[in-house]
Amino acid sequence: MKNFSLLRPRSLDEARKALVDGAPKAAPRGAGLDILDHLKEGLPAPDALVELRRIEGETGLSLRAATAGADGLELGALSTLSQLAESPILSGPYAALAEAAGQAATPSIRNMATLGGNLLQRPRCWYYRDRELVCLKKGGDLCLAISGDNRYHAILGGGPAFYVHPSSLATPAMALDARVRIHGESPREMPLDELFVGPAEDPSREHRLAPGEVLTHLILPTPEAGARSAYFALREKQSHDWPLVEAAVALRLEGGTIRHARIVLGHVAPLPWRASEAEAKLVGQKPSVELFARTAELALAPARPMTGNAYKVPAARGALRHALHRASGLELPA
Amino acid sequence: MPTQLLRLRVNGRHEEVAAPTHWTLLELLRYRLDLIGSKQGCDKGDCGACTVQIDGRPVLACLTLAAKAETREVTTVEGLGFMGGAEGCHPLQDAFDRWDAAQCGFCTPGILMSAEALIRRLGRPVTRDEVRDALAGNLCRCTGYTKILDAIVDASERIHDAGEAASA
């Protein structure tokens, strides 16, 4: 494994300083699972890890806590996936996020992996993850997925690189209109979808945090009465596997009519994929099998599969129908 | 190579040990403390053979920096006997023996640590489905898992019965 130095700041300001001083070869570390993978596999990796777990006091506590405030739920970036999956606070309207957290990886990895790390992990594309192979993310001039084995790659929004976004928590979080809080030169917040950078803008990165900035919290706004959500993922194996496709849905019903809808598809595009057009068609309608089938058609209409991943189009339609039915409480036809 | 002095508790004992800063907990256990029960299999979080417990929760020692375990309570398969109360075999180890739940044995230490955490967390006899979920990250290539599930369910029943008898 590549060697590195380990810095242990006691405050976010000290962490920021260490990250700025060490830029661009310093990285903040939560559980460090993906960073460790990069260090062991000979992939581009930092020289200095800035440990966030030693941050003390109330800030330290809030980084690993889930608290309900006036503006909604604040989830600390160091919360583990196990914590999120088991948290009673993430029930009801927030259920999609807990469901996604509880299905990711394995129990022992969920005991370690953090919310912040899940959102900011690098893509799992096998061309990126092989140190010998060319990749736009590693400064190469070619995305091998185009002519190679692209069974797990993008069917929506790809180009010039065709990886899919790896975060299973980003999918439900975006459906729940999440924001992120960032500690930097001045603290700032932004909608989660603005945090992410797609390959057309810059294939070398997936987020727009500046050096020294640390993602500290995910904020889920308080939903209105009647809000509910659901998550559904398809995998080749029942556990310990990345999703082939996933869907998260947030709905608000009023007297049996849909008043608000958010649909986000995961593992189909380089970004968590918001299906805005399909959402719009749901509003003002009453849940029905036909409506949800049409919605799924519409959401996948722009799909452009590659040579080996056409199966993802019907798979994503199916995942979305599952999520829509579960969120609305309408039974899925056999 | 930069080294660090780490203080941690392993299987109830205080340990003070110097190791390179970039070592994982697994390397520290195996190559400094000679606790070679935890196995170095894939070394990247895929196989679960290195599963240990930190503060009672199963984690992967190959993906944990040694530095992270500082001031925490680490339990490895070598400490499992003590967790049964009496010295010697833990009821899980006894059940694995009776059910022939180990073949090559490489995955066994990790499976025992995942299973012990499950039984302790639920505090009652466990079901096969619960064991399947809890072992989702522990690969076994020999047994087909059947005997492993049998042994863990059996051990959980015996642990529960012993608890009932003790409190009666």
The 10s digit of each residue's pLDDT in A63-95 is 999 999 888 999 999 999 999 999 999 999 999
Residues in chain A closer than 8 A to B20 (CB atoms): 3
pLDDT digits (tens, 9 = 90+) for A258-290: 999 999 999 999 999 999 999 999 999 999 999
Amino acid at B51: T
Q: What is the pLDDT of residue B87?
A: 67
Q: What is the pLDDT of residue A19?
A: 97
B67 touches A: beta carbon within 8 Å = yes
Do the chains contact at A108 and B20, CB–CB below 8 Å?
A: no
Burial of residue A203 (number of CB atoms within 10 Å: 0-12, 13-18, 19+): buried
The pLDDT of B49-67, averaged and rounded, is: 96
The pLDDT of B129-145, averaged and rounded, is: 95
Mean pLDDT score of chain B: 94
pLDDT digits (tens, 9 = 90+) for A201-216: 999 999 999 999 999 9
Q: What is the pLDDT of residue A71?
A: 81
> In terms of CA atoms, which chain B residue is nearest residue A35?
B63
Q: What is the pLDDT of residue B82?
A: 73
Q: What is the pLDDT of residue B76?
A: 97
pLDDT of residue A292 exceeding 60? yes
Closest listed residue to residue B110, CA positions, set B167, B23, B49, B152: B49
pLDDT of residue A13 exceeding 60? yes
Q: Please state, in angstroms and rounded to a whole number, the distance separating the CA atoms of residues B113 and B76.
A: 7
Of the candidates B43, B59, B67, the beta carbon closest to that of A40 is on B43
pLDDT of residue A229 exceeding 60? yes
Structure tokens at B73: 């309570």
* Lowest-confidence segment of A190-199, A292-301, B68-77 by average pLDDT: B68-77
A-interface mutation test, from B65, B114, B121, most A Cβ less than 10 A away: B65
Q: What is the pLDDT of residue A239?
A: 84
pLDDT of residue B152 exceeding 70? yes
**Chain A stretch 48-67, residues whose beta carbon is closer than 8 A to a beta carbon of chain B:** 51, 53
The pLDDT of A1-30, averaged and rounded, is: 95
Ordered domains of chain B (ranges, CATH): 3-76 (3.10.20.30), 80-167 (1.10.150.120)
Q: What is the pLDDT of residue A268?
A: 98
Q: How confident is the model at residue B84 (pLDDT cuts 50, 70, 90)?
A: low
Q: What is the pLDDT of residue A173?
A: 98
Mean pLDDT score of chain A: 96
Q: What is the pLDDT of residue B168?
A: 75
Amino acid at A296: A
pLDDT digits (tens, 9 = 90+) for B113-125: 999 999 999 999 9
pLDDT of residue B86 exceeding 70? no
Structure tokens at B143: 């047994």
Q: How confident is the model at residue B28 (pLDDT cuts 50, 70, 90)?
A: very high
Of the candidates B20, B44, B51, the beta carbon closest to that of A40 is on B44
Q: What is the pLDDT of residue B48?
A: 97
Structure tokens at A300: 């996948």
Structure tokens at B159: 């642990």
The pLDDT of A132-148, averaged and rounded, is: 97
Please tell me the pTM assigned to this model: 0.95
Q: How confident is the model at residue B2 (pLDDT cuts 50, 70, 90)?
A: confident
Q: What is the pLDDT of residue B24?
A: 96
Of the candidates A1, A112, A240, the beta carbon closest to that of B64 is on A112
Q: What is the pLDDT of residue B95?
A: 96
